[in-house]
Structure 1
Amino acid sequence: MTGPTPTANPTPTTGPTPTTATATATGPRSIAAGSIGTAITGNVVLAADALTSARDTPAPPGTNNLGPRPLCVGREDELAWLRRVLAADGSSAVTQAPAVHGLGGIGKTTLALHYAHCHRGEYALTWWVNAESPARLEQSLTALTARLAPTWAAGAAGPEQLSWALNWLQWHHGWLVILDNAEDPRDLHPYLGSLTGGHLLITTRRAVGWPRGIPTRALGTLAPDEAATLLCDHALHGAPPTPRQLLDARALAADLGHLPLALDQAGAYLAQNRTISIEAYRRRLGTKLDKAAEGIDAERTVARVWTQTLAMLTTRDPLAITVLHTLAWLAPDDVPVTLLQHLDDEDDSLAEALGTLGSYSMIALTPDSVSLHRLLQTVLRGSGGNPGRSQAEHVLTAAFDALPEPPEHLPAPAWDALVPHLIALAATAPPDHHDDPAVKHYGTAARYLNRRGHNARTIALREAHLAHHERTLGNTHPDTLLVRGDLAYAYEVAGDLARAIALSEAVLTQHEQTLGDTDPRTLIARTDLAYAYRTAGNLARAIPLFRTTLAQREQAFGDTHPQTLNSRSDLAHAYRMAGNLERATALYESILAQREQTLGETHPQTLSSRSDLAYVHRAAGDLARAIPLFRTTLAQREQTLGDTHRDTLNSRNDLAQAYQAAGDVEHATALFEATLAQREQTLGDTHPQTLRSRENLAYAYDAAGDTERATALFEATLAQHEQVLGDSHPDTLRCRNSLAFAYRSAGDLERATALYETTLAQREQVLGDTHPDTLNGRSDLAYAYQLAGDLERATALYETTLAQREQTLGDAHPQTLSSRSDLARAYQLAGDLERAIPLYETTLAQREQTLGHTHPDTERSRRYLTRARAALARRHRRR
């Protein structure tokens, strides 16, 4: 018994790919071509000189972007805790990345910045990063590149600058990076896994959801004495308070719930209005509550203080009030000052208004940008009769109207600076809001993000754009249906498969009702829904849709039309995924014959069909037929496409996998190494196919018994997956499972089991409980429990996995048969031969029927059954 096949084992890099039903590209994944390989966007590989620069560029002493030291009162216990955690190992290596959590306005950022200032001399570099979203995080890191390599950064695109910064942090040691205001722990996983030369310090509102190994500390409100001291320090400019002032400050601080943000704003108000005493301000605060403010206590507290400041500013500087209300509806950080210039033609007036707001602690101001505290933003949005949204729409519309169209495949810094604010505006559109002048830019911004590989960020834009189309064009207008399909695809890319499928189903129904069952756009919608089902692992629903689309294309275009052949290939691929190798093989043979006849022997699509047929033979265990086909395809691609064409590299990889399956590890390893070197050269070091090659080579090393080399390569590849694709991308999860396999292979069951458990939990969350990858992960974890001797937990997982595979994949799917065999083995190890043998018998009979009598899996089942029967016979003889 060798245990379940590792779920990250090499998989084909060729095979059927999604195609469109018409030569006109319409929609996010429609491609005006007969077939296309994997489309990759957004991955950046630096040139050798840039990598060398990142390695060799030192940080000048004291390099930081911290700004002035904030006023931090008290917090001695929290500061001591941070010091203990970060200096626990006595070195600069990241063994801990502490997370300080608490509600908005509690002083998390102040604490982190105070710590950084206190220990700045101990670090080579100290850098503050806005970690609210992946986009903001990336922008903060590109600023590091601009600081350390300004000449190079001036001519580099944003993604290149980000890559340079990450490489610099990976090369250098002894730095402190503050990841401030992290909203989602998953956004930080790539950095937690790859930045290992310095210290990371996280601030967040999130108390739960952090990976094991991340120490967390809750930050509460200030102690009464500390709160009164902070208030007096602000209000009295550091002058010592009188006993009466201190008493009044304690009372006011109590009224404000000892919340640092409220204390800061109250103190700033008193500092700007020195004729008002602390006691008089407290009386005003108690009689002028903001009746519109709702929500948590902190929001109501800030609303009370804000009401006082607003009343003062309304008389003193009306433009400041307009700016404040406008900022409430934009993204909270890094609002360009140039954007706000659309509010007033006088630069001096705007500068004065911003200065006034800064003096009252209402905003954080730099020469080029403005930021607003999120808690204050929440209060402003919730205030009654707020006119700020229309002003925000006005300034954004004017700014985007002045921008040229973004380039097709290049970054546009001006768009990058404004799009986050457009997303914020779209995300906060009231349901009954019908007159948004900025809506005309939502679709353009979504397309720009899609081209940049950030389609998941387009959801708010597409939702608002769809609502506009539904109101103005109607629910079933072709343009409305197109935008609805775009939104469904954005949900799918973001991993929200439930919403993606529901919307795709609605889109198909509406296409059928308005355009007819066989309109090319209906066929595209049907194919898109089938792809969504297939992504979710629901082949039982995907296959009938692929069948229907194929039949309709046969009728509309004929039996050998390229689009018909594409649909046939989609169906064959689905059959192969479902384990119906006999039907898949017949379809692949038919497609190959038709393409040879209509396109020629060496046409790229003919070669793809030949490779598909070879792969299905390999899946059936018929390596004697698969390997010659792989060899032929490789030779033809080398001759017609060249030695380093992507399809040629795919063929070389496929042949290596076939050799490995045949036990020829030496030939397989040599081919994997050659393919990896060529992909690194032609595609770059972090291209997904390069990462897959690196993973395949690691498996080959493991098969050759070199577990140390395999583990190191898996670890490096996982770090790259996390950096390039993100922590929860299905490929990253697959690679994480691969690393667990390497730990298991090396005998480190404790690390393997922990990683299997983590990966399974992520797959359940991202992919769903019955997705094939989730079921694979559950089987792998069960085998790890089995190896550790925990047969009770292993058996329970095997039983669950078998039941789920029977339900989702069918009774005779190869993976279902593997689960049945695994469960039988677990019963046998537990001494329950009476339950094991019938399972072995069933599995053998089904494998003989579906795979044939000589398939390796069939022969393995025969050996297991023979041994189990022999063991039972020995037991009976002893009795």
Structure 2
Amino acid sequence: MAVEFPTPGPGAKRGMGPTSPISPLWQAAIEKYYIELERGGIKASLIDPDLWKTQGPDELIAQIEALGKGQTTQSATWTQSLGQLRPVLLGLDDFAALASWLMGVNGEVAAVLWVRNSETLAAPQEMPGLRISDGAKLPCFTIPYGLNLRFFGREIELNTLREFLEPRPDRKSLRAAGIYGLGGVGKSQLALHYANTSMEIYDVIAWIPSETQIKLVQALSSLANKLGLTEEGSEDDYQGVQKVRDWLNTSIKPFLLIFDNVEDIDILDQIWPASDKGSIIITTRSPSQATKRASNTLALQSFSPETGKAVLESLTSLKPADKDDEAAVQEVCQLLGGLPLAMVQISDFIRDRGYSYTEFLRIYKKSAEKIFAKSEKPVEYDDTVFTTWNISLQKLSKEATKLQNLLVFFDPDLIPERLITNTRAEIGDPSLEFLFDEFEYLWEKEQPALAKSFFEFGLSIDEDVSGPIAAQAHRLLGHVFLDLAQPHAALAAYKKALELREKLDGVDSPPVADVCDSVACSYTEAGDVEQAFEYLERATAIHNAHDPSKMMRTLAIRAMTCLRAGQPEDALAAIRECWRLQGMTQKEIETSTYPKHSGDIMLLARIFWLQGNKAEAQELVSRTVAMRRGTFGENGGPRVADSLFTLARILEDVGELVLAAKLLRQVIEMSGDAPGMKPHKARAFWHSANIEAKIGGEEVKVAELREKARAVRQTIEGREWPDDDTDAAFMKLVSWMLW
């Protein structure tokens, strides 16, 4: 639309002469209104020239009220707000935006068109520059500490934040970065430094402590007050939170929110903005919390020895005096583990007392606890090392706390792993049973390819190729191959472990029964249920001869094998017996929130599905999706993808094809190009093509989806099955059961 804009009459200053009774502030508001209308592409013929003659807020309100009568297309509530308009207009930078808001368009419309007759009052949709954002007092910065001149060693991380977060014209979506790591590693300091060096590019920077709901709400209420959205003491905190959220959602100003020390990501739901003008930083100790909301995460590590040394020397302003001092500073950095907070605290101690590194090292080795206890909290930090680590230790799980209590009696660097993983250690305390679960680390981290390389390398350099450590390593390697959908490779690794265990412990020993379970699992994954049952019978006989209460794993794998053999009733009986030995009921498993139980719930869902109980199966699989996302993040790894895929298959089975297709698209999108997700991506593409064909989609689109499935399959390493164009072939790209 061509822009034609009227100029004021001869001798007038944009519509008013030097003797005009209109106040300068009101004149500025009128001027701003015309400028913004012009920018929005409004033709001059549509703008009422009489507006130049409007003398003040009362007259403007009267005109709006008169023009608004009978306009049934406008919000029925707009007239109720006119009484609020007068006291606001005199101090408003952009009253056109407010007028559109008062007309009931919720900030989405940007200006009110004034026309010469009262029948054509309307609000254009294409003027985002006029949304309500200037009603706040800007700029507004609530940063708890000023620029830290002792900020060192994080240039790469700082540049990463800048590249990802800083607003640019081509960015049309909210940007959220999650910084996670140990307590004291410098998460908050990195966020602080970014905030303090970014005030020129953001109109609002808000630091929001987020350890608890109370702290979050108080900080947001204070922000509402500072922005001028509320008056101090005039409203309760939750009304302030709502006003801040409304402002963020309608603002055209770039803003940065920093949610510091998040422990429960769900409390951010009440303030999470929808505006595309925002940048957000989340700091948290938990990687799973960081990934739930952030689209980009940064795992902050302690300093390397080289960087740590340079940082400590900068903090103390002290260079090593000689070779002994050089060796001392390196040892100090090693003892501190490169933890930034510890280095800051120690540097203050060294500087205040005038110690050399050699002198300090001697004292530290004798009295490290006293040194940290006596050291004051650094100016730029909220807590000391002691406080930070006490907070971290208080948040350990019960199992982690028990393990920590066990290890305090040892030098952890000298503890052979076999002491706690080898069943011959005879740790009988039931509360320490989790130590024998070799799945734990790999299950949580979902990095089977990396683990495979690790174990293979370890086996290649281990001189003791026939001892208990080698036997355990072969078994763990088998677990990894199962996660990679390579059951034949897993079987070879398990049989090697079985051979070693039989020589070490005897053919009828409990460790042999444990490996028989694993062999049965690999046969089940390969589809050879007869062989699987043979090894399960052997494991059962060994457990019955020693301690029948220890056969939980045998029963769980038996349930899986029965299910694959098409025997859902036998599978259900086996898994229920497994739960009974654990002291749990089926109801407790179904309602459990413990992430490890998601595998049991998935197995139960698949049993119900095979029995024809599809509604209950669908409900249980939906629960596993939520549980696994809670563990691995919204865009989690293989187990989240597998749960979504299973749910899609059930929905397809009950005729919900559109929903099934939507879930498969989620699997494809979350898979990206991650190597460990390629099997899930290829399988999802192939089954998306099946559903598209059932829906009646175009043949071209179906063919395109199938071709994408084939292309992704070709990039998967270690495939054990023929590359047939069948449903079964694509199903075999992923393990039959991901616990």
Q: Highest relative contact order (Cα 8 Å, sep 6+), 1 or 2?
A: 1
TM-score between both structures, scaled by the size of structure 1: 0.38
Which one has a bigger Cα radius of gyration? Answer: 2
- Structure whose residues are more often helix by fraction: 1
TM-score between both structures, scaled by the size of structure 2: 0.44
